[in-house]
Amino acid sequence: MSHCLCAHITVAPNRTRILILQHPDEQKHPLNTARLAVLGLAHAELLVGEHFPQLNGIISAAASVFLLFPTKNAALSQPLLASRAGESSLLIVPDGTWRKARKIMHANPVLGALPRLSLPIGEPSEYRVRRAREPAAVSTIEAIVRALTVLEPERDFQPVLKPFKALVDRQIQAMGADLYRRNYSDRSPVR
């Protein structure tokens, strides 16, 4: 990450612990939004791989654990409460394309037993240089910020998105307005 982007990073004091399970193919992506989320949150950790044998221990040590992954029965409607006084909840977030995230789910059956949280339908993604099949799809950092905004409504997590937005703007600027319009014109206008 370049020096001037570091000025955009503000560490948010999240109460809900975040554990991101990143597919190895995402690790070297130029807009590694999982890495940006970890840098911008006080209580966030990133593990890279497909299979995570340490998950059983992490899950059993947490007061309450939820998986941020869509399902028809998932709900994200009220703040999570820790089951033991003074402990926070743990939110596990797979990071990768939908196919890669499903691979992580399949390789770690313990995830399938966790209660799931799904995001409410919201604004379109700010990730204007990446296409997604699902219109409600957002980047990992956006999903985490949206979840934390619901889970901890008394806090403002929007500053966590500043470096992400700056990187997207830089990528658009580097590719040029014509190339951006040709490839992403159905997303949103160039700012």
Quick one: pLDDT at residue 157? 94
Residue 181 CB contacts under 8 Å (≥ 6 apart), including other chains:
190
Quick one: pLDDT at residue 166? 86
Residue 15 CB contacts under 8 Å (≥ 6 apart), including other chains:
43, 88, 152, 155
Each residue of 88-109: pLDDT tens digit? 789 999 999 889 999 999 999 9
At residue 185, does pLDDT exceed 80? Answer: no
Quick one: pLDDT at residue 83? 40
Each residue of 77-91: pLDDT tens digit? 444 444 444 567 899
The share of the chain scoring above pLDDT 90, in percent, equals 42
Domain ranges of the chain: 14-184
144's tokens: 């985490």
Nearest CA to 38 out of 5, 62, 58, 12 is that of 12
Mean pLDDT along residues 17-31: 91
CATH topology of domain 14-184: Alpha/beta knot (3.40.1280)
Mean pLDDT along residues 121-130: 65
Listing DSSP states for 56-107 in one string gives HHHHHHSS-EEEE---TT----S----SSTT---EEEEEES-HHHHHHHHHH
For the stretch 128-154, what's the b/e string if a residue is b when 16 or more beta carbons lie within 10 angstroms of its beta carbon?
bbbeeeeeebbbbbbbbbbbbbbbbee
Mean pLDDT along residues 68-77: 66
DSSP run (H or E) holding 167: helix 162-175
